Structure 1
Amino acid sequence: MATGFFHDERCLWHGGGNYAQMAPVGGLVQPIAGGGGLPEEPETKRRLVNLMRVTGLMGELDVRSAAPLTREDLLRVHPAAYLDEFARLSEAGGGELGPRAPFGPGGYDIAALSAGLVADAVEAVLGGDLDNAYALSRPPGHHALPDRPNGFCLLANIALAIRRAQARGLARRFAVLDWDVHHGNGTEAIFLDDPDVLTVSLHQERNYPLDTGGFEVRGPAGTNLNVPLPPGCGHATYLEAMERLALPRLRAFAPDALIVACGFDAATPDPLGRMMATAGTFTAMTRQVMDLAADVCGGRLILAHEGGYSEVYVPFCGHGVIATLAGSRTQAPDPFAETFARRQPGAEFEGFASARIAAMAEALQ
């Protein structure tokens, strides 16, 4: 197989500068070690790249960068007033245009590059140049609204990639599966009225944002599905939610291509999630979507990196996913596998979660 890996070191240089403090440092709040900063920092991604180089997996991939999206590309999703203010603040040294999405000097250009990585990955797969692809995009994008950034996201990476591909006549119908622990509210909002784009989000219930992600939200065309899962769900529940809710809806929609918003923050040690997924969970879900894509859209599958904030664990989650995409035997054994297996929810909790999934599945009939 030809699996593309889209990456650019410049995306790891994105930062919030003096705007990145998440806590009101001062008074009785001791400054964070290393000067503080956002949980969305470059080391999780850089360590994933380093791990793939050490194991040799990187040598099995078609490694590429991309050009930043042009203003014309960006205007397909984001209004001119937003882009102008973003560019102005970026040139002035950085700032913040919305909640929890600070950026430093050059933030506009780096965000356009991050979106470009996803767009090029999508088009390379649609054009048959690659079988599938993984875009290590940063900053992420699934919370970004057209006129407002949100939750570390400045530009709507996946939405921008879809709109460019549609404008170029490469495909019409897309499905987006978001398994980040946080609800993909930006992607949902952009496509909620669009009958040609299905959005499915598996996320921790009432994590972030607090006011979005309800199961009842379908959209006028019925092309949105939210699967809010109670905190504490682990490997078995995630796979059951995929099998009973996400995959049937994706199969019925039969898109031209499937894009996964691939966050690793549902993993057990993540500081911004309260779920119990493991590296094996993400590998298994990748296998599920590969099988589905092979059946419904000629295998056209693209994964775009979103959240995941454990420096130690994200690399093992990502390595397993990318090795699965590439059909590779190169492994990076999960050093926490035994420990996290012992911490999986017990039968009583899994029964409770299964009943929740069954009720959602029945409501969709």
Structure 2
Amino acid sequence: MAAAPAQTGYLYHETYFWHNAGHVQSFTNNIEAWRHWENPETKRRFHNLVAVSGLLDKLKHLRPRPATDEELARVHCPEYIRRVKEMSDDDSKGHHTAGDVATFAPGGYHIAALAAGGAIVAVEAVLRGEVRNAYALVRPPGHHAEADRGMGFCIFNNVAVAAAHALSQQHHGLARVAIVDFDVHHGNGTQHMFESDPRIMFISLHQDSNYPLRSGYMTETGEGAGEGTSLNLPLPPGSGSGAYRAAFNRLVLPALETFRPQLLLVSAGYDASYMDNLAAMILSSEDFGWMMGQLVDAAERLCGGRLVALHEGGYSELYVPFCGLAALEALSGEKTDVQDPWLHEVQSWGYQELQPHQEAVLTAAEGLLLPKLRGAVERLEQQERQQRVDKLQQQQQEEEGEEEEEEKH
């Protein structure tokens, strides 16, 4: 058996930083226009920190390509793809909208397609064994985008496009893919695209009753054949290190062990940090490094280390770079000399330990979600066994048919 590649892949492109979401007038028009929350600086500064830390030199650079219409159409409606492309080509307006707070400038289709294609490239590099695992610094983000519309700063759903590619029989034909989303906002688009597909397990840790509203309830566990494979953990505002680490130890990691994926995808958002303006959580950079480290270890145990992390949200220009670097250090196993200047401050805050009301949410999740997942996996295993039997019978019939043809001649 060939040794696993040592390097971590790192994918980015200067064009990602050119995505123009306009000015902040989302949620209301009755304010003086201001720089959009989803502006390039958080990710540009993250990339710059990766470079000056010396870590960039230890990673394998992966070059993105645009996703094709066929690749996008595995999860998005063709009419929606056509509409985004048409708006993107219209330079008579300064900005267009793909859906709820999902604005983009002329040319935005090409950048969004490059982000989705970058996700595919990262998955390909891992599944082909070119890299051990990979981090894709893509923009615009993707996990809110629905099949027929953009949403929440997202145009195309990057992680969903990547998962669908991995499942495609034309390519790798994987049987099980897990997606863990620790962005502070519920990954509604990803959930809806796969909630009826038992081959995808989706886990979302997010702030309760944040964006999108009325989304990501614990009772949303999947539909039809996918019942039990959507696991939502809406954590109370103010959750910190203790709540997230307990959630991983008691829900995320046991769920991964139960599902046993062949590939682990991570929607890595850093907006649960204590400095973020669009949430009310209190995580530190060290917490993000710990979470990524746990996922790396799980991938090593379960799927040969095959893990691809895709950058989602995070809106603190000061703090996202340190959170992302900590995650990338954990992913690559390479520690830099960079020190988080705010780490002591956030770790000194009160309520970092698991609180009673957070414990109640976790207890409810354990009782509801894990049994449902076990039932879903049992059904999936039965289906996989039947598929193997059917395939064997088909092969036997084909062989018998070939023998009959030979006898005739």
Q: Note whether the superposition's TM-score is higher than 0.5.
A: yes
- Measured in 2, the distance between the counterparts of 1:165 and 1:250 equals 18
Provide Cα deviations, 1:133-175, integer angstroms capped at 9, x if missing partner.
0000100000000101000010011111121222233223100
Q: Is the 8 A contact 2:62 2:121 kept in 1?
A: no
Q: Does 1:41 align with 2:39?
A: yes
- Measured in 1, the distance between the counterparts of 2:162 and 2:352 equals 41
Q: Is the 8 A contact 1:276 1:344 kept in 2?
A: no
1:192 to 188, 192, 195: 195
- Measured in 2, the distance between the counterparts of 1:216 and 1:143 equals 19
2:394 matched to which residue of 1?
none
Identical-residue share of aligned pairs (%): 43
- Measured in 2, the distance between the counterparts of 1:212 and 1:355 equals 20
TM superposition shift of 1:25? 5.5
User: Relative to structure 1, is the Cα distance of residues 357 and 339 closer, same or farther in structure 2, using a 3 angstrom cutoff?
Assistant: same
Q: Secondary structure at the match of 1:239?
A: helix
2:80 matched to which residue of 1?
82
Q: Does 1:54 align with 2:52?
A: yes
2:21 to 13, 16, 19: 16
- Which amino acid is the alignment partner of residue 200 of structure 2? V
2:367 matched to which residue of 1?
362
Aligned ranges 1:83-122 → 2 under 5 Å = 83-93=81-91, 94-122=95-123
1:147 matched to which residue of 2?
148
- Measured in 1, the distance between the counterparts of 2:352 and 2:328 equals 30
2:252 to 211, 228, 246: 246
Aligned ranges 1:1-365 → 2 under 5 Å = 1-17=6-22, 21-22=25-26, 24=28, 29=31, 31-32=32-33, 36-93=34-91, 94-167=95-168, 168-170=170-172, 171-219=174-222, 220=224, 221=226, 222-345=228-351, 350-363=355-368, 364-365=370-371
| Corresponding residue pairs, total | 357
Segment drifting more, 324-333 vs 144-153: 324-333
- Measured in 1, the distance between the counterparts of 2:333 and 2:12 equals 20
- Measured in 2, the distance between the counterparts of 1:187 and 1:344 equals 34
- Measured in 2, the distance between the counterparts of 1:229 and 1:23 equals 23
Q: Secondary structure at the match of 2:232?
A: strand
Q: State the superposition RMSD in angstroms.
A: 1.5
Q: Secondary structure at the match of 1:142?
A: coil
Q: Is the 8 A contact 1:263 1:305 kept in 2?
A: yes
Q: Which runs of 5+ in 2 are unaligned?
A: 1-5, 372-409
TM superposition shift of 1:128? 0.8
Provide Cα deviations, 1:183-202, integer angstroms capped at 9, x if missing partner.
00000000000010000000
Q: Is the 8 A contact 2:46 2:321 kept in 1?
A: yes
- Which amino acid is the alignment partner of residue 229 of structure 2? T
TM superposition shift of 1:38? 1.8
User: Relative to structure 1, is the Cα distance of residues 87 and 327 closer, same or farther in structure 2, using a 3 angstrom cutoff?
Assistant: same
Q: Is the 8 A contact 2:273 2:282 kept in 1?
A: yes
Q: Which runs of 5+ in 1 are unaligned?
A: none
TM superposition shift of 1:351? 2.8
TM-score for both structures, normalised by structure 2? 0.85
